[in-house]
Amino acid sequence: MSIISFRQRVYTIAQQIPKGKVATYGQLAKMAGSPRAARAVGMSMKCNPDASIIPCHRVVASNGRLVGYAFGGIQTKKQKLLNEGVAFIKDTVDLNVSQWRVTI
């Protein structure tokens, strides 16, 4: 799988994450067919061509922590998620409540 097709697949999946939910980098990697490519998902999110279409703010670390956000920093990412109804425990997303649950 080429890096471009992987990246496009990640973007297509990320577009499906509903408001009020988050997915982890590893979850997207698995859904895109490369379960060990969580870092590549992170790079794809960093290179997101249009954050208004591809909601990269809805992608978080496997422990619910907010890491990196190229469109205003982590505080902006947290505020966007709070505005969408994502549940937090301090600065970490409560994955028990807000993780996007899909069957692969």
Residues identified as active-site: 56
Q: What count of Cα atoms within 13 Å lies in the side-chain half-sphere of residue 103?
A: 0
Q: Which residues contact 72 (CB under 8 A, 6 or more apart)?
A: none
**Looking at this protein, which amino acid is placed at residue 63?**
N
Q: Are 14 and 59 in contact (CB under 8 A)?
A: yes
Q: Are 86 and 98 in contact (CB under 8 A)?
A: yes
